[in-house]
Amino acid sequence: MKKAFILGCLLAGVVIAFLIRFLPPNDDFHLDNPFWNGLKTFQEKTQGSSLSYISDIDFVAFPAETCLFIIGPSGSYSAREIASIERYLRAGGLLILTDDFGSGNLILEGLGLKTRFSHQLVIDPLFRGKSSVLVKSVDFSGPLADIKSLMFNFPTFLQVERGEGRVFATSSSFSISRDSLVQDEASAGQEGPFPMVAEITYGAGKIYLIADSSLFINSMLGEEENEKLLQTITQDKKIFIDTSHHPKGLLAKMQSTMIALYQITSRFEIRYSLFLVLVIAVLWLKVKKRKVVEDEDIEAILKRHPAWDKNTLVKLKKERFNE
């Protein structure tokens, strides 16, 4: 019964570990998330490399041949992280910052720029998808002039500082802004068109601002010409993706822990140290089990012959088996 329980626990542990390792995560903007809100398709098409620490961008050899995506950033960016982004841009790197109601403005502020994401919702009752929050952009210029239509998902709009950036895509003149998702006249704000995609020159590099964090998620990349926008602005550059500012769910955290443990235990010295510990543990258990069995044999004899001396029996046993 005890062995069956132990084997059952071991089997359950193996099954749980297997599920944790191979179940796909469902976190927003996760590169391995195949569901509507993930970036698995984006990652497969761009072959982008994940940056667990944004400061790793400092080690890129040729920034001008690369592109850094910051998609839907959440949480604050430290002064050190901002400094890494600034050095990357001044060395000729391309930053593509897609945001709507996240912390993208903290990056812009840290870089000393005055352009901002407005954090107001844009809707369009005419140029839209199935809903007015699926806003279409139909007016393009500059390097985006060949694009005919983009579709955004719950977007905001850009407040581009005069003389600081160039607007390449706008919403239609029928679009309006709202302070919230409540669809009533009291929440109505400005009337369009609104800047949706803009470019800012920074040092030797450039920043593309896109007023929607969802433009490249699995459910949106195939809409209108969103994928063509991706190809137009990246131009076959080496892609890096900041994944350090997305909150992780429990499954993603457990998967990261398993991968880290595997990387640690796969090291030569750790692997053979663990093997040595396992061998010692098995030998110790065998010796312990043998001693227990021997003690049980002597106790059984004493039960049948209670008048016999235990020490004498132990001595006779050792003499007989040359112990």
Instruction: Tell me the per-residue pLDDT of 216-269, one tens digit each, with 9 for 90 and over.
Output: 999 999 999 999 999 999 998 999 999 988 766 665 566 566 656 656 666 666
197 within 8 A of 210, measured Cβ to Cβ: yes
- What integer is the mean pLDDT of 32-46? 94
Q: Strands 94-98 and 66-71, how do they pair? A: parallel
Cβ burial 81-95 (10 Å sphere, 16+ → b, else e): bbebbbbbbebebbb
pTM of the predicted structure, to 2 decimals: 0.76
pLDDT exceeds 60 at position 104 = yes
User: Out of 10-19, 60-69, 172-181, 305-314, which region has the weakest mean confidence (pLDDT)?
Assistant: 10-19
- In this prediction, residue 218 carries a pLDDT of 96
Residue 263 amino acid letter: Q
3-state secondary structure 232-288: HHHCCCEEEEECCCCCCCHHHHHHHHHHHHHHHHCCHHHHHHHHHHHHHHHHHHHHH
Per-chain mean pLDDT for the chain? 83
User: Out of 3-17, 74-88, 266-280, which region has the weakest mean confidence (pLDDT)?
Assistant: 3-17
3-state secondary structure of 130: coil
Percent above pLDDT 70 for the chain? 70
pLDDT exceeds 80 at position 207 = yes
- In this prediction, residue 293 carries a pLDDT of 45
- Of 3.40.50, 2.10.70, 3.30.70, 3.30.60, the CATH number of 25-248 is 3.40.50
- What integer is the mean pLDDT of 176-198? 78
pLDDT exceeds 60 at position 290 = no
Residues contacting residue 23 through CB under 8 Å, at least 6 positions apart = 251
User: Out of 142-146, 177-181, 285-289, which region has the weakest mean confidence (pLDDT)?
Assistant: 285-289
User: Out of 27-36, 201-210, 225-234, which region has the weakest mean confidence (pLDDT)?
Assistant: 27-36
Which has the higher per-residue pLDDT, 77 or 318? Answer: 77
Domains in the chain: boundaries: 25-248, 268-320
Q: What is the largest CA-CA distance in the chain?
A: 107
User: Out of 57-61, 153-157, 209-213, 216-220, which region has the weakest mean confidence (pLDDT)?
Assistant: 57-61
Residues contacting residue 20 through CB under 8 Å, at least 6 positions apart = 251, 254, 255, 258
- What integer is the mean pLDDT of 124-133? 91
- In this prediction, residue 187 carries a pLDDT of 58
- In this prediction, residue 79 carries a pLDDT of 95
pLDDT exceeds 90 at position 15 = no
pLDDT for 53-101, tens place per residue? 999 999 998 999 999 999 999 888 999 999 999 999 999 999 999 999 9
User: Whole-angstrom Cα distance, residue 194 to residue 188?
Assistant: 14
Band (26; pLDDT cuts 50, 70, 90): confident
Band (139; pLDDT cuts 50, 70, 90): very high
pLDDT exceeds 80 at position 38 = yes
